Amino acid sequence: MKDHEVKALLQETLEDYQLTKKERNELRDLLDNVRGDEQRRALYRSMAFDAAREALAKADAGQRFQVLDWLEGTVKTLHPAENLPAGGKREGAKSYFSPDDNCVGKITEMFGTARASVDVCVFTITDNRIVDAMERAHRRNVQVRVISDDDKAMDAGSDIDRLERMGIPVRVDRSEHHMHHKFAIFDKSKLLTGSYNWTRSASLHNEENFLITTDRDLLKDFTRMFDKLWRDFS
């Protein structure tokens, strides 16, 4: 099958925002024809992200989540378990330490390479460099959602209002306690988490850390927590 035919197949499966069993089997048959050619598989995954991004630009609020579900299922099909190390987890986790490592640069890079979605759950956000990267992702039709703390949202320098004015969905806790998490999920495939608040102080002065991992179990756990908080703070 030629590349343009693969692209057409992906777009066809996206028409109803569902990846049926028959369509999964068609994609698996396609992969059998390129077994061992990881470059070709990567190209097909890139096509899936491109198709999802185009669909997100046209979709309404409800359809956007269907698009993301389609993308998740498609990417999993295009990157099956036999290509993963034992235990079903992807290799790769890297740690970053502030102020020595360029933590803010890595976070902005993650937003720059996001294709479809970023879910942010961070106690306080005041670093304009990160917010600028979030805005650029939002303008590329990446589906960005933000959860933060209500008290910190009122602090001087907080960018929560600015994010809302951009049209990025934001929810904050309304309790007497704090929403103290610091994590973000990029394209449902990479998790960033640690002590690092998204502030200039964290970048320049504080002893902070975060790690980035593709561990499936952790992604599942953090995604579940984000979705729970998103519902709770509605």
C-beta of residue 131 within 8 angstroms of C-beta of residue 125: yes
What percentage of the chain's residues is helix, strand, coil (to nearest 5)? 50, 15, 30
Please identify which of the residues 79, 182, 188, 190 carries the catalytic annotation. Answer: 182
Among the options 119, 187, 188, 215, which is catalytic?
Answer: 187
Retrieve residue 149's tokens.
């703390």
CA pair distance 64, 194, nearest whole angstrom? 29
Q: Is 190 a catalytic residue?
A: no
The two structure tokens encoding residue 72: 């998740």
Give residue for tokens 């756990």.
Answer: 221
Active site residue 217: no
**Does 169 sit behind a cis peptide bond, omega within 30 degrees of 0 on the bond before it?**
no
The helix (H) or strand (E) run that includes residue 147 is: strand 143-148
Ramachandran sector of residue 76 (left: φ over 0; alpha: ψ -120 to 50; beta: rest): alpha
Angle at which helices 38-58 and 21-32 pack, to 10 degrees?
150
Asked if 182 is an active-site residue, the reply is yes
The active-site residue, picked from 58, 94, 178, 180, is 180
Round to whole Å and give the CA distance between 21 and 163: 39
Determine the length of the chain.
234
How big is the chain by its Cα radius of gyration, in Å?
19
By annotation, the residues acting in catalysis are 180, 182, 187
